[in-house]
């Protein structure tokens, strides 16, 4: 039981580390939270410092999820608890206490986590997110719809009901993040 609680704490703790924010602040001397509305993440770094910053920050954010999943495997955590930790990772990333409740879109750590736990689902989610991003040019919409569509396709895999429930909750987390960002954005004239 202690291993499971420690793993949950680890998932939330690693999730709340604002790697994109720190990378922008210490590598480029940019306070990325000061640049317009939206979440604090690699896409905002793309707009401020260019593609190199986005690629490095995006890789680091995805690696957070991979690291948490790897720790779960090292501790031999049961599958149900592995999936529950994914939600804590997403909540920690989306509403980081280190940034006064702000954070990035939780899709990158979500995908990094899936790449170790269920690689085929991660590839599907990535393909869907990139397709939607190319069609709409809206990263948060692409991330949310990819998780939603992945949860609809999951029943065709031989995966349990708990995964479907976790994916639906993950979709709700992403929808809540998008809704909060949308409702708290500034008018373009105030930026």
pLDDT tens-place string over residues 51-96: 998 899 999 999 999 999 999 999 999 989 999 999 999 999 988 8
The model's pLDDT over 144-173, given as tens digits with 9 standing for 90+, comes to 888 888 888 887 777 778 888 888 898 888
Boundaries of domain holding 16: 2-190
> Contact 44/20 with Cβ under 8 angstroms?
yes
pLDDT at 188: 42
Q: Which string of b and e fits 131-141 if b means at least 16 CB within 10 Å?
A: ebbeeeeebbb
Residue 173, Cβ neighbours under 10 Å: how many?
22
Q: What is the CA radius of gyration of the chain?
A: 16
Categorize the per-residue pLDDT at 191 as very low, low, confident or very high, splitting at 50, 70 and 90. very low
Task: Tally the domains of the chain.
Answer: 1
Under the banding of pLDDT at 50, 70 and 90, the label for residue 99 is confident
End-to-end C-alpha distance for the chain, whole angstroms: 49
């Amino acid at each position: 039981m202690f291993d499971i609680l420690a793993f949950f704490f680890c998932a939330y703790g690693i999730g709340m580390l604002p790697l994109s924010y720190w990378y922008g602040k210490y590598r480029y001397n940019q306070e990325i939270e000061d640049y317009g509305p939206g979440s604090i993440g690699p896409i905002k770094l793309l707009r401020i410092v260019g593609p190199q910053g986005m690629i490095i920050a995006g890789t680091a954010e995805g690696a957070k999820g991979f690291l948490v999943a790897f720790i779960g495997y090292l501790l031999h955590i049961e599958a149900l608890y592995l999936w529950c930790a994914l939600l804590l990772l997403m909540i920690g990333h989306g509403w980081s206490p280190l940034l006064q409740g702000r954070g990035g879109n939780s899709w990158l750590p979500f995908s990094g986590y899936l790449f170790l736990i269920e690689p085929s689902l991660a590839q599907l989610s990535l393909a869907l997110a990139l397709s939607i991003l190319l069609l709409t040019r809206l990263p948060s919409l692409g991330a949310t719809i990819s998780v939603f569509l992945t949860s609809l396709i999951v029943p065709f895999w031989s995966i349990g009901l708990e995964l479907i429930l976790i994916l639906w909750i993950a979709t709700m987390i992403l929808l809540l993040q998008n809704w909060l960002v949308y409702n708290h954005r500034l008018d373009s004239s105030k930026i």
